Structures are given as C-alpha cells and as structure tokens.
Chains A and B, each alone.
Chain A
Amino acid sequence: MSRRLTTVLLSALSVVAQVGSAQASPATTKWVDSVTRLIDAGMSTGQPSGLDQAIALLDRVLTVTPNDAIMLHYKGYALYRKANPMMEDDTKKAEVKALLEAAEDALETSAKTLQWPETWALRASVSGQMIAVGNPISGMVLGPRAENQIQKAVELGPNNPRVWMLKGVGSMFKPKMFGGGADKAEKELLKAIELFANDRPASPLPGWGHAEAYAWLGQAYVAQDKFAEARAAYQKTLELDPGNGWVTQVLLPALEKKAR
C-alpha cells in the first residue's frame, strides 16, 4: 500500500474529471455561429444540403486546426444530424454507418480534451444508433457503452437540458426490460423541457434542442396513446420553430393517422 493510494482510483481525476467550459477564441466562436446556423437551417427545412455545407465548413476549419476540440464536437454533431433522417431507409445503411463512425471519431477525439456533457450525450446517441445499423450482436457491446456514455454525460452536466433530452430519446428506443420505455422517456423529456426554460448558453456552447425536445415528447405521448398531449407538444415545437419540417411533414401526419 503506498503513496499511489493517494492518487488512487479517483479515477477520474484527470481523466473523467475534466470539467469546465471551453475557452474559445473569437475565431472559433465565429465559425461555430456559422456552422450552427447552417445546421439549424438544414434541420428545420429537412434539406440535407444545409448539413453538407456545415460539414464542409467544419472540414475547412479542421484542415487548418485539426485538433480544435470545439470544431470536432460540432463536426460530430453535424454528422449525427445528417445520419438521423436516413435511419429509416434500409438502402442507406452503409452510408449511415459510415456517417455514425465518422461522428464517433470526431466526438471521441473532442472528448479527450473538451468535457462538454453534450459530447458524451451525443456519443451515447451515436452508439444507440449504431446498434440499429450494426450486426445483431453489436448491441451487446454498444448497449452498455451507450449507457456508460449517457451516465458520463449526466455526471458532467446534471442540469444540462440537451443531456436529458438525448437521455429521453435513448429511453424511447430502449426496451422496457432493459430500463427504457416511453413512460420513462416522457419523464426525462419533461425534465429536459423544464431545464430548457433557463438555458441560455453563450456561443460556442451548444444551444440546440429546445423545440426538438417537444417533438420527442410528442412521440413519447403517441407511444402511450396520449394523442391530445402529443398534439399540444407538437404545437409547442412549431411555436418555437415555425414551419419545422419534421413536425409538419412527418410527425403530425403520423399522429393524425394513428389517432383516427
């Protein structure tokens, strides 16, 4: 038993324990603002070109500063966003897998120096989505990995609304026997929405997700046949993001069909 015990387990000390906000240069902030505008536009309209432009811009910045953890975070985020709408299309499985792998690469590298809770939450979501496009036994590894990653995200940001939103999304897709389910997702998404009320992050910190949280909450309600609540949640999304293509073109029509 020696002095090492002091430094012990603490595990995390230098590893897990990196907290804090990024000290971004004005240049980084400028690029982040440009990137987030492109991503928001791409997501809101449902047009992938906006996301492609964002990814291209990130690629340019990272050509010059390849280790910029903030830009790596946003690259992972943009790739994750690009993969999202393609998940349902079986013919694009290989492309989705490549996007998710690239997202994980960027997020993993970012997380080595930048301990943003959102980075870990996104990694958890990416791991969860990889299960859908991976081989049948990949869930054995990726499931616990996603669980650990979301736990780490909660450790780093216990009051971060985006973490709770992605945690809720994860619970939506996790079978009840493994601790998921729509009812659990509902609680987590409501907590996220409560936290969004006081969420005022300054650039370059991530600031996305408020409108989206209601869209996911609506889906949690639909899964429990709470159609009126779902409709109200979708309307809330549209109040925050008028004309949101996902809600108007996909979620609301699906709700009306199911409620009939």
Chain B
Amino acid sequence: MRLGHLVPARVLAALLVIAAFAQPLLAQNARTIIRGVVRSLAGPVAGANVFVLETLDGVLTDSSGTFAIQASAPLPLTLYVKRIGFVPFQRVLTDAAPVSVTLERSAPVLQPITVQAGAYTASDERGATLTPLEVVTTPGTSADINRAIQLLPGVQAVDDGTALFVRGGDFTETKAFLNEAPLLNPVQLLTPSGTFVGTVDPFQLDGIFFSSGGFGARYGDALSGVIGLRTRGAATRSTATLGAGLAAFSADGAARVSPYLTLRVAGNRFDLQPFLRVNEAARSFAPPPHGREVSASATVTYRPSAEIKFFGIDQTNIVGVDLDEPSFSGTFDSDVASRLLVTTWRDVFGRLAPLLSVSETRLTRHEHYGAFALDAAQRQRQVHAQLAWEASPTLLLRGGGEVERLASDLAGSLPKAAYDQSEGARTTLFSVDQPGSRSGLFIEADWRAGAALRLTPGIRTDRSSLTDKRTFDPRLSAAWRLAGALTLTGALGWYHQVPDPMFFSDSVGMAGLEPMRSRQAVVGLQAGEGPLMLRIEAYSKRYDDLALQTRDYRVRSGARGSSRGIDVFYKGPLLVAGIELRTISSFLVAKRSDPESGRIARAPFDVTSTHAIIAERGFASGVRLGVSYRSATGKPYTPIVGATYDPARNLYVPSYGAAMSERFPSLRRMDISISRFRPLTPSLASVMYASVSNVFDRANVQSWKYSRDYTKREGNKSIFNRAVYFGASLMWQ
C-alpha cells in the first residue's frame, strides 16, 4: 500500500519539505557552545586539551588559557581537561555558563625502579629481563619455561630434568604459581632420568616472574625460589595456530567472542617414537614418552580495569625407561596425570585493587620399578586473596593471605636398602592418607622513599596442621638508583616451608618435623635495563631444620645447610650488528648435612660454576638463528669404594666413601636452532623450524652404571644425545 493513497499529495509534499529542513534544524539545536578558561595557581594554562567526553569535540587552550568548544550534542555533557604535569579535570556541565577550570599540579612522576634483588621477569612490560620471544627461542630449551629459567643466573644445572635447583637449594624448595594458584610438585622421589616437574606451554603465557631469592612476603611455603606464571587474557582479535613436528601435533585458538569475552583453547599430543627413530637414544624406552596437554580459558573483562579469568589445564605423561642396575634390570614405568583449575578475579576501585584466586590441583602418579612402587593421588585446594591500597603516590600497601588444603593419598613399597631394588627385595610398605592444611597471612609495603630509593618491607605468618607450628617471616627488599641506570639492590629475609607430606607418615617418615627454615641475604648491582643490562648479585643463605631423605628412603630431621655465591648476568648486543647476546655465570659453594652421617658435606646440588652464552640473530628474510653453549662443574656424589658379597640374598652390598667427596665430569653442551617466519597472505603466516641439540654429542655423565660386584663402572650418558628436530606451524589471524 502506497502512502499517497492515504495522504493527499499536497500534504505529503509539505511533510517532506518540513522533514528535509527539520534534520539540520534539530542538529543545530543540538550543538552546544562551551566557553571557559583554564588556569593553575601559577596563571593561565596554554595548550591544555579541553574536550567533551561524550563526543570528543575539543580544542587546545590559547596563550591566555581560554577555549571555546562547539559540541555536537546537547547538554548535559562531561568536560574533560588534560595537560601534562597537571591532574586531569572532569566536570558534568548542565548549563552553558562559562566554565572556569583550575588545574592542580600533579605529583612529580618518579622514574620507575623496576629492579629487584633476585628477580627476573619475562614479559612485554618495561624493565622485564627477557621478552616472551627470548624465552621460547632460547636454543636447547625446547620452548620449555623451566628449561629457559635454567638459563637464568642462580639456577644450577644438576641433571637432565626440568626441575629448578636455585642457589644451592633443592628443587622442591622452588614453588611455581600459575595465576596465583600453586602448582603441585611431585612427591620427593627421584626418577632415574632426572628430576622432572610439570611445566606449562609458554605460548599460553604472557608473563613469567622468577625470583632466585629475596622474594617478598606475598610468597609463602617456599624456601629457595619462586616462579609466577600468568596465562594470556583478553585477545584483541581471533587467532588460530596449527603445528606439527617430528614428535607432536598441536593446535590452539583464541576467539574474541565480544569486547568483554575471550575464549582460548589449546591442545598438544606428543609421542617421541618417530623422534627416536630418527635420532639415536641414550636409553631404550618401552613405551617411548607420550602424552597430551589440553588447556582452556575464558577471560571476562566486564570493564577496562577488571578481569575474571577461568583457566584449566589437563596433562598426562607416560613413559617406560629400561634400566640396568646391579640388583635389578627392568623397566621403570611412570604414568603421571595432573589437572589444574583456577579462577582469578582482579579489579581496581579507585585506590583499591583486590585480587581473588580459587584453585584446585590434582596430581596422580603411578610408578613401578623392581621393589619400588608408588601410587599417589594428591589434591590441593587453595583460596588466595589480597588487597592493594595506594595510600599515596609513593606508598602502596598490600595485604592478604591464603588457605590451602592438601590431601595426599600415597601407597606403595620402598626397598629396605637402596642397593637391593630387585622384585623380591625386602621392602617397606606404606600407605599414607595424610591431609594437611596451611593458612598464611602477609602484609607488605612498596614505598618510594625518595626519587632514588624503593623499599619493600613485609612480614608473613603461616601455620600448618602437619607441623602444628606457626612461623613468622620478616622480609625487606631495597633498590637504590645510584645514577642513571645504575641500581644497587639488596634483600634480607626469613623463609619457611613445610616438609613433604610423605615425610610425616608413620611408615616411612616421622612425626614432629619442624617447618624447614632459611635465611637469605642478597646484595647486587645492576647497570642498564631492558636490552643492555649487566647484573651482579652476591648472596648468602643458611638452612635449618631441613627434613632430608637417606638413600634408603628414611627421613632425617634437623639437618642444616648453607650456600654462598655470586651470579653475573649480561644481556646486550654484540659488536657485530644484529646479534643479541646473553651470558650467565653463577659461582656457588653449597653445603648440607649428609643424611647418612649427619655431618656437613657438599650439597648434592653443589655445582660450583655454571656458565651459559646465548647468541641470537634475526635476518630480514624472516630467518632467526640461535646458538647456546653451556658448561657446568659436575655435581658431587658419594663414591662406592668397595662391596661385600651377601650369599643369603645373592648380591653385593656396596660400601661408601666420604659423603659427596667426588664429582661427575663437567657438563658441556651446545645447541643450535633456526626458524623462518614467512607471511603467506595478510592473515596467514608460516613458521618452519629446526634444531640440533647437543651438537658435539658429548656424553655428559650424570650417574654411574655399576657391574654386579661394583668393581667396574661406566657413565650413563645424558638422555640428551645429539638430536635433530624439525617442524612447522601455520598461524591465522
């Protein structure tokens, strides 16, 4: 039906004419002229940016501070005034009266001091030690977070595993947190091929913090070091990646569902069988290492300062390693599964910034080898909350705490004597159902005590149901900018950690263990920041009330220890243009009570010097080449000096020399990696990559394989033979 049938033509024409004129008339009425002047106590402010927040109509003030804005919307409108050196001004205008604005001078902006004793960060933020790219491209690290951290100062190369032995401490004394949730360390039993702990795909992370000591009161139940991992949050656009390599397939994707919601999923399936066909293995595997990792996250940013993040990850690792020992030859079977679910909420309300994290971690582990058997199920739940209050531009107060409950259900058998691992050997059967809870509170200040001094005093208190003791840990960290980019740092603090839950069991542990304690003092000097940096740190640590395990799996309490050392880190360009260089040197003297004799001896991780050099260069063709070389003193061990035959059990009983009196040969290794990034279309790119690890195929012996009567021995080669790996990825964005 046409409109003309209902309305006379003349009337319609008149309406159209009115409509044609009405639009600009209405728009003209909607325009608002806002006039005024901007002043400060010192007089008119020229060059101030004055604008209407709703429409962004605006002008710069003239030399007399006056302005006139023709706003394209009716009142009420929000007037916003900005000028460097002044606090922004904002006012809702309801009438057209001239506006007089008086700007207040802002507090002088202090140059940030980001250097902290013992702390290293990997992120895109200013002051970060490494960028995420530097972490994943470090040759020989296989894009593994822990292996990349192993190439930071203060971490000793003790074995082939991914565990972090930090400044003379055991690997169980370094705690990892993912979105504030603690990652469970496996129970303290060594695998035959090195101490492996679970890590997370670095491509799912956007920030890594590592402290080799002197960390603040926020972190509890960690004696030596701390790793903080932060998963990626909101995406600016949807992306997807597909990857395939010699031993794995992977895929990940991020969907920006709306400006407020980002969903991410990532999956990875690996199987080293094809890799082992191409490369010679130092050990035989049955089955070869295989497993999968699946993670998903949802990030809700309901306003710019807020974020709610749900993150879950599920990992499995299965491997069988053939071993040949004097008392037993067979396969070490290991099947480990872990799952973490964590929800974090953070926001900013004026000067208050709350953070809440709720998490659950599960770890199941089944391991069998001769007389040794372990079936473990652990579940840890934690609630962590903290509140930061910006009391003034130079003082930030932070307080909070956590409550966690760890349920450990462990069962299995341990050989009565380490030298008899055979299936018929005498064993200690254990069944531990040991729940434990811990609560902690902390308060910390971050105080700019002047233009050049930053102080971070804090204190925390913890109480564990396992030790039934409350501990208090005062801590202080300081950074003093001496001149330009030269900063002096220092930290002093006390730290406590609850021993492994298994150590409290009646069958293989002992009751009444004390919280383990360390005291750390760090002093350092850093020159430069960002791409050119030299940092030297010296530290001294003392350990008390340590709970250690003997080689026959018995627990010894009240052990002591100490470590002293110097770490040197340099990062900068080589004089040959384009080459980025990192060098790390760590010198250490670490001592601990020998669990067998109780006497002080070298610590098992007393690697007196560790050196690494990493050189990387990018080329215009998209090729990136990296080379790393590392060397370290061999770790100490207690030698076997003889053996007597036991006819009843038809085996030889070894006798040992002085504790930790000998060392394995020093470690040396070179790795090379090359990758090529190539844009295929404006939204599609490919990366091809290849790497050669342990280029010179050095044996790097880290344990001995003895004959049945212990009269002969040969070195067990590192599991990292010379090996080639290659693959490719496609990225869509």
Contacts and interface: CB of A to CB of B under 8 A. Distances in A.
A69 B236 CA distance: 9
A12 B293 contact: no
Interface stretch (B343-351, B371-379, B652-660, B724-732): B724-732
Nearest to A142: B531
Contact of A4 (B144, B237, B577, B682): B144
Contact of B573 (A8, A10, A67, A140): A140
Nearest to B688: A10
A17 B124 contact: no
A114 interface: yes
Contacts of A57: 56, 58
B679 A156 contact: yes
Interface in A123-174: 140-141, 143-145, 147-148, 150-152, 154-156, 158
Given A6-B248, A6-B727, A154-B620, A63 B693 contact: no
Interface in A194-237: none
A112 B126 CA distance: 13
A141 B531 contact: yes
A61 B56 contact: yes
Contact of A11 (B136, B249, B532): B136
A178 B577 contact: yes
B132 A15 contact: yes
Interface in B195-254: 199, 201-203, 236-237, 239, 241, 243-250
Contact of B689 (A9, A112, A156, A178): A9
Contacts, number: 212
A4 B142 contact: yes
A257 interface: no
Nearest to A167: B620
A175 to B, nearest CB: 11
B268 A3 contact: yes
B416 interface: no
B577 A17 contact: no
A141 B572 contact: yes
A3 B689 contact: no
A2 interface: yes
B650 interface: no
A56 B572 contact: no
Interface string B668-683: 0000011101010011
Contacts of A21: 682-683
B622 interface: yes
Kindly name the residue among B47, B144, B304, B622 whose own CB sees the greatest number of chain A CB atoms within 10 A. Answer: B622
Interface in B572-589: 572-573, 577-580
Contact of A141 (B47, B60, B532, B720): B532
Contacts of A26: none
B530 to A, nearest CB: 8
A15 B132 CA distance: 8
A63 B139 CA distance: 42
B40 interface: no
A4 B677 contact: no
A241 to B, nearest CB: 26
Interface string B135-152: 011010111100100000
B604 to A, nearest CB: 24
Nearest to A68: B236
B366 interface: no
Contacts of A11: 133, 136-137, 624, 675, 677, 687, 689
B663 interface: no
B693 to A, nearest CB: 7
A60 B58 contact: yes
A91 interface: no
Contact of B144 (A2, A59, A145, A151): A2
10 contacts: A2-B270, A5-B247, A6-B727, A7-B729, A9-B139, A9-B675, A10-B689, A15-B133, A15-B136, A59-B82
Given A6-B268, A7-B248, A155-B622, 17 more contacts: A1-B247, A3-B293, A6-B250, A7-B201, A8-B143, A8-B673, A9-B139, A9-B624, A19-B682, A23-B237, A31-B56, A57-B58, A66-B304, A144-B580, A145-B573, A148-B578, A150-B620
Which 7 pairs, one residue from A and one from B, show the smallest C-beta to C-beta distance? A3-B270, A6-B248, A144-B573, A10-B687, A6-B245, A113-B236, A4-B142
